[in-house]
Amino acid sequence: MRLLIIEDEKKFTDFLRRGLKEEGYAVDVASDGEQGYFLATTEDYDLIILDLRIPKIDGLSLCRKLRAENIASPILILTVRDSVEDKVSGLDSGADDYLTKPFAFEELLARVRALLRKRQIPTPTKLQVADLELDLVSHKAARGGRDIALTAKEYALLEYLMRNKGTVVTRTMISEHVWDINFDTFTNVFDVYINYLRKKVDLGQKKKLIQTVRGRGYSLKE
């Protein structure tokens, strides 16, 4: 899942970005409304986290502008403004949820998960390909009843492959949804992480699930 944070407070942004990356999300950041507008209209995001007090284009105006241009990504507003009127204005501008600062990071994660579930129809709590299972709530993986320990990035990559089972995903597609916008697609990091997953998912198994499609990308097939 790929998220966009539009927030001008660097310390707070770094905290959010680090925490969300640890949960397996790919995260891009914009420090003002104009940059946020450019990214939100040129890239495909599963969720936008938006502060109201940002320079150049304020959060409410940006939210209305994105909705007017049919950007359907769920928008979660984060702000210190906690009056009922502010919340109503935020939701009426097109936001899907509204969270006031300060907040518990666990609550933010729960709201992010809820918004991501709403966007996906139907909403699975588990993914399965052959005897490989991935629990989207606990972030646990298993194959044939054997638990598989995954790092956050391995989990994100495996989830993306499983959501796109049977199809070829390119390096560009993986970089957009598993890494962030600044990632260099010409490095060998993809191959390294695919090999990590192969060792954990396919090693010792008669049936190999993770396939390399030469010249195109990778695929996870039953």
31 and 133 assigned to the same domain: no
pLDDT score at 210: 96
94 and 181 assigned to the same domain: no
pLDDT score at 173: 84
Taking the C-alpha atoms of residue 211 and residue 90, their distance in angstroms, rounded to an integer, is 45
Both tokens assigned to 153: 């990035």
76 and 25 assigned to the same domain: yes
100 and 134 assigned to the same domain: no
DSSP secondary structure code for residue 72 in this structure: -
Residues 6+ apart with CB under 8 A from 108: 16, 78, 99
74 and 10 assigned to the same domain: yes
210 and 133 assigned to the same domain: yes
107 and 27 assigned to the same domain: yes
Query: Strand 75-79's sheet: what is its strand order?
Result: 26-30, 2-6, 47-51, 75-79, 97-100
Scanning the chain, the segments in alpha helix (DSSP H) are 10-22, 33-42, 59-68, 84-92, 105-119, 152-163, 171-177, 189-201
115 and 30 assigned to the same domain: yes
Pick from 74, 93, 119: which residue ends a domain? 119
Q: Give the pLDDT means over successive 10-residue stretches in the chain (222 positions).
A: 94 93 90 97 94 94 95 93 87 95 92 86 77 91 94 93 92 80 71 93 93 91 88
111 and 38 assigned to the same domain: yes
Query: Which range marks the domain in which residue 90 is found?
Result: 2-119
Residues 6+ apart with CB under 8 A from 68: none
Instruction: Supply the pTM of this predicted model.
Output: 0.68
Pick from 92, 119, 146: which residue ends a domain? 119
